[in-house]
């Protein structure tokens, strides 16, 4: 029997186990969305033009494809086409690269006035853009030009898979042989937190017909990769890893479990909600909860994969607590309810670093309340 919301249409309110009713859960979701987009002090949505808004990385004061695509997914889930279209207009107007070997990709970072801050893409943005666009098409229908959502989603995915065939010197975002997503197109390594097998399952239904088998294989490959790249005892994942799952150190950071890596637990949880249990991935969630159950939750650090704490404090402690709540979806840890309760009581982050923490918080809130749904 197949499980998961894709097959059953059922999206449980996991926070009910922590005493949060369906009504209270929906109120939490609405309040968080209002904070992110409209709170006078704590929002991080900037109105660059009347018709073009951007999500601001408040720690770096730029707009990133990560945040733009996250914002679009938030708007699809909340049925806010008005904001979605403004975010997508900014993305197409200021981030889309129209020539050179990166043609068809999006600049991973621009200034909030839209001026360029980079000339390269980051694949986690492209995959979220495509998924948000497919879902927008399903919820609201396709329009014209940039607002022909499903057509643009297919174009994005076509570039991701075939860039090396489309433009001279181009590099694909997925490795053609093993179907694993690259950290950036030019580097043949991956980032475990980029792996979204639940998205690839849906791409296998909606992408160009010729590429649908590719996406089926990518989903299977990603589930295996997530499992092999996580530590067998702690469940911690590296920020960057070779295709065999072994850790790669980049950007002179000597620690391994850090900001990008937090998303792995969140991604496993959503894959389980949508497409059902994978024992190897449930084991990762169990191990990571068991590990953090022994840590001081008020003094979270950067960690080695074996759990050795580093002197470097965690830059995004709210994000860690949020994904530990999400891990309860599949975890068998004795601390499972503890982390659900911790999440139910967790406030959104305020201040300079609120962007990343609150993006992860919101997605975990959606999934734990039964409000992160498939529209396809």
- 270: tokens are 């959503």
376 within 8 A of 135, measured Cβ to Cβ:
yes
Asked about 66 being catalytic, the answer comes back as yes
230 within 8 A of 192, measured Cβ to Cβ:
yes
List the catalytic residue out of 66, 126, 171, 201: 66
**How far is Cα 316 from Cα 358, in angstroms, rounded to an integer?**
9
Residue 54 main-chain phi, psi, to 5 deg = -135, 150
Asked about 85 being catalytic, the answer comes back as no
List the catalytic residue out of 85, 239, 260, 285: 260
Active-site residue list: 66, 260
């Amino acid at each position: 029997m197949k499980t998961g919301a894709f097959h059953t249409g059922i999206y449980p309110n996991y926070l009910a186990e922590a005493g949060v009713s369906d009504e209270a859960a929906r109120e939490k979701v609405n309040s968080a969305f209002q904070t992110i987009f409209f709170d006078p002090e704590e929002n991080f949505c900037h109105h660059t033009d009347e018709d073009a808004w951007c999500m601001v990385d408040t720690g770096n004061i730029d707009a990133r494809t990560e945040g733009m695509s996250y914002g679009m997914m938030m708007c699809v889930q909340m049925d806010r086409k008005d904001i979605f279209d403004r975010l997508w207009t900014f993305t197409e107007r200021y981030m889309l690269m129209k020539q050179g070997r990166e043609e068809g990709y999006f600049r991973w970072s621009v200034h909030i006035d839209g001026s360029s801050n980079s000339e390269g893409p980051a694949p986690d943005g492209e995959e979220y853009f495509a998924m948000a666009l497919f879902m927008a098409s399903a919820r609201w229908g396709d329009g014209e030009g940039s607002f022909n959502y499903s057509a643009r989603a297919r174009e994005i995915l076509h570039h991701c898979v075939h860039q090396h065939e489309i433009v001279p010197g181009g590099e694909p975002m997925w490795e053609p042989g093993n179907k694993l997503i690259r950290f950036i197109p030019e580097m043949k390594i991956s980032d475990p937190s980029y792996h979204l097998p639940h998205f690839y399952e849906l791409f296998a239904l909606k992408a160009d017909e010729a590429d649908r088998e590719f996406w089926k294989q990518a989903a299977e490959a990603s589930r295996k990769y997530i499992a092999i790249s996580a530590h067998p005892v702690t469940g911690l994942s590296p920020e960057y890893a070779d295709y065999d799952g072994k850790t790669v150190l980049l950007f002179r950071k000597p620690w391994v479990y850090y900001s990008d890596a937090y998303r792995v637990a969140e991604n496993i949880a959503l894959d389980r909600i949508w497409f059902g249990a994978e024992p190897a991935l449930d084991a990762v969630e169990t191990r990571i909860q068991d590990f953090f159950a022994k840590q001081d939750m008020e003094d979270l650090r950067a960690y080695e994969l074996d759990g050795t704490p580093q002197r470097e404090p965690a830059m995004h402690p709210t994000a860690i607590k949020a994904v530990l709540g999400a891990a309860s979806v599949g975890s068998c840890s004795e601390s499972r309810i503890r982390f659900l309760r911790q999440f139910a009581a967790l406030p959104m982050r305020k201040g300079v670093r609120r962007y990343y923490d609150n993006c992860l918080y919101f997605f975990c809130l959606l999934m734990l309340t039964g409000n992160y749904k498939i529209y396809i």
